[in-house]
Amino acid sequence: MSKLTAGGRFRKALEEANPLQIVGTTNAYHAMMAERVGHKAIYLSGGGVANHSYGLPDLGMTSMNDVLADVARITSAVETPLIVDIDTGWGGAFNISRTVKEMTKYGAAGCHIEDQVAQKRCGHRPNKEIVTLEEMVDRVKAAVDAKTDDDFFVIARTDAFQMEGLNSAVERAQACLEAGADGIFAEAVHTLDDYKAFSDGINGSHLLANITEFGATPLFNVEELAENGATMVLYPLSAFRAANLAALNVYEALLRDGDQKAVVDTMQTRMDLYDFLNYHDFEQKLDALFEEGKNK
């Protein structure tokens, strides 16, 4: 039996889960932890790359190569399929085509592309602007036509719900599916009824619910979302936000107390770190090599 591609592994995970939870991993080590505890799909946020790797806001200020650097690190560390946020595709049809080819080459299982203008904003912020339906369809067609792996999973994200309402967003979703998208990412949806209407509007095609904290969408449970048509549930930056607060607490404690005693219980232990990294396997190999050298 031939080995599944990254896209194939994602499709298999999607078939076996209802819905499939997709967790954000902003670096290789977080991806390793997510994989170890049993998650079947992971995600790299464009905002996460901008914030975590470059110290920039999520305002379309990073490039394809910036994102690819983190894609390569993550896919080199884990087998769990990775979905990547490619924002608006970084340009016209040729740029989008190159992006999909590069993402596949670097080991991504799929991506989502959105209908905001190039000067994009976070999907849960006000004053977003979106392109025409026709331009979004062209983006999706460019992405789909660029596939070098038939299983590479292309998700069309629409921000039209917040801008133009449910009917317009569903119309865009239908057009994107007709253009070849494998699923729909309905951004900044407010209620479970809206998800149900989206699902009905796309005839039960794959629907992603973005359950990000501190945004426009309540923190619905997976069972609620499954009952209302979502087949994928995304948590793009949950671990990142938790890690940020933990780090801030440590920095403040060191200045305040002069030591880390008050916060050491909030830290991952050295032995747990080594366990996730398989440190001892490497060390034993090193010991064996040294022993072999001594016996020569």
User: Catalytic amino acids?
Assistant: 43, 58, 85, 87, 112, 114, 122, 157, 187, 210
Instruction: Please name which of 171, 101, 100, 103 lies closest in space to residue 140, comparing C-alpha atoms.
Output: 100
What's the sign of the alpha-carbon dihedral 243, 208, 184, 148? positive
Residue (of 76, 2, 7, 89) closest to 41 by Cα position:
7
Please give the Cα distance from 34 to 6 (Å, whole number). Answer: 16
How far out from the chain centre does Cα 121 lie? 17
164 is in an annotated binding site: no
- 270 marked among binding-site residues: yes
73 is in an annotated binding site: no
Does 187 show up as a binding residue in the annotation? yes
C-alpha pair distances (Å), 201 with each of 207, 210, 236: 11, 18, 25
111 is in an annotated binding site: no
Structure tokens at 118: 């190039």
Q: How far is CA 240 from CA 42, 108, 143, in A?
A: 13, 20, 28
- 70 assigned to a ligand binding site: no
**Contact predicate 184/201, CB 8 Å:** no
Query: Contact at 8 Å (CB) between 67 and 99?
Result: no
Nearest alpha-carbon partner for 208 in 5, 10, 2, 6: 10
Residues 6+ apart with CB under 8 A from 113: 86, 87, 88, 89, 96, 139, 140, 143, 154, 155, 156, 157
Q: Binding site annotation covers 210?
A: yes
Q: Is 157 annotated as a binding residue?
A: yes
For residue 281, say whether it is annotated as part of any ligand binding site: no
Q: Report residue 225 as tokens.
A: 């979302």
Residue 96 to residue 277: CA distance in whole angstroms: 35
Residue 275 annotated as lining a ligand binding site:
no
By the 8 A CB rule, do 172 and 179 touch?
A: no
Residue 148 counted as an annotated binding residue: no
Asked if residue 205 belongs to a known ligand binding site, the reply is: no
Would you list which residues are annotated within the binding site for Mg(2+)?
85, 87
Would you list which residues are annotated within the binding site?
45-47, 85, 87, 122-123, 157, 187, 210-212, 241, 270
Would you list which residues are annotated within the binding site for substrate?
45-47, 122-123, 157, 187, 210-212, 241, 270
